[in-house]
Structure 1
Amino acid sequence: MIDPREPIVSPVPVEELRPTQITVGMREVALKRQMIRTQDAKNKTGAFLGKHMVPVVLGPKNRNYVTDHHHLARALLEEGVKDVL
């Protein structure tokens, strides 16, 4: 049986992530996008995302709310990445 305090890691569509902070610095998002493009050029995007999970909590209506890595989540959305852990 899974301990309810243990994280559950599963792929989630980036489009379904909801922010918990009202603003995101677009300069930081631009830097993250550049980093993602660099990783993609080396065919390491999957390995990169495996090490940089986006933590979420289930909120109302079982929606995924981002608790950290807001800039990364926005950059992934803008880069067309479909799913994230």
Structure 2
Amino acid sequence: AKVPVFPAVDTMVKDGGVATLSVNQFNLGKTSGVIAGKVLKGKKTSTYPLTFITKGEMTVNTTEAKLLGIKLPASVLHEAKTKGKIFK
């Protein structure tokens, strides 16, 4: 349909989205696993502070952008290359 999609997570960009600024799903799972391990060893969940992820990673799919005629800004490509992911 030639409709650009800007999904909520990086893995969906790999599957055909154009770009996202989102939480790295692998790192989120790893952090969650560490907390789950501590809980399984007896740590009470009530002792964990509420936390928020405040920084995301830029992920772009240059092939999809090109197919849709979208020129991604150089700053977006640079951020994805240095701090995130580029799918080609």
Tell me the TM-score normalized by structure 2: 0.28
Tell me the TM-score normalized by structure 1: 0.28
